Structure formats: structure tokens, C-alpha cells
Amino acid sequence: MFKMNALVPELIVSDLQRSLKFYCDIGGFALEYQRPEDKFAFLSRGNSQIMLEQDWHSESPWRVGPLEAPFGRGLNLQILCEDATALAGAFEAAGYPLRRGVEDHWYRSDEREAGQRNFLIQDPDGYLLRFFQDLGFRPCP
């Protein structure tokens, strides 16, 4: 059964159908529900969730300023995936260039390091996404 997370980002998008193709058809998100009359969709991928709403007018209470491409400057969304290499390949095959290719990174977390295989891509509106595959932990060198 569907359960909403405590924190779910909502992204204003310029074309909901284009965003749904990106997130669902290529990115592996599931459409949990939508309100076509509001041009709104709620998506999930594993334990990751996002809401998408098509921009409908400049007086929307959800807008805090003018929208200029790329949207979401200063923000990146980290999303867990099972196979970062395969997902990056699927985006590239669909014509979406990667902002940064697949790389392994180790990040210190107190006395150990957490490993991620990740890549960066921007969605059709320019939101920066970091898809990552968990590589586990290792002791700090």
C-alpha cells in the first residue's frame, strides 16, 4: 500500500507529460496518482518520492519568484537506484546527456566511509538529479 514519506519535494515543471516520460519511462519512477485537472502527479521509485506540477500561471502561490531555466538552481536531489551504470545508459540511449558520468565516490561519515556509484543528470527543466547506487561502508584510511 502507498505511504507518503515525511518529506516529499514538489517540482514545478514546464510540461508535465514531458517530465512523466523522463521520470517514469526512463527513470523507473512509478506513477502513484495524478490529478489531470491540476496537471499534477505523485511519483515514487523505491523509497524516493517526488511530486510534479505543471506551471500554470505567474500568480501561483507555489511560485516564490520567476521561473528561469534551469529550474532548481542550488538544489540537487539524491535518488537511490539499484544499478547506476545501467540507468545512466538508459538516459543516454534516450538522448539525455549526463552532466557527470558514472563515478565511484567515498564520503567520510564519522569513522567510516560510505560508498556511492553515482552520476548527475538534469531533468527536462534543468533540475539536478544525482542517482546513486549504494556501495556500502569501509573504514576511513
Report how far apart the first and last C-alpha atoms of the chain are (Å, whole number): 43
Domain ranges of the chain: 10-56+75-139
Sign, Cα dihedral of 138, 104, 119, 71:
positive
Cell of 91: 538516459
CATH superfamily of 10-56+75-139: 2,3-Dihydroxybiphenyl 1,2-Dioxygenase, domain 1 (3.10.180.10)
Whether residue 9 has pLDDT greater than 90: yes
Q: What is the pTM of this model?
A: 0.93
* R_g of the chain, CA atoms, integer Å: 16
pLDDT confidence of residue 59: 74
Q: What pLDDT is attached to residue 119?
A: 98
pLDDT of residue 63: 81
Q: Return the C-alpha cell found at 51.
A: 511530486
CB count in 10 Å sphere of residue 79 = 21
Task: Tell me what pLDDT residue 2 has.
Answer: 81
Q: How confident is the model at residue 93 (pLDDT cuts 50, 70, 90)?
A: very high
Which of the four pLDDT bands, split at 50, 70 and 90, describes residue 62? confident
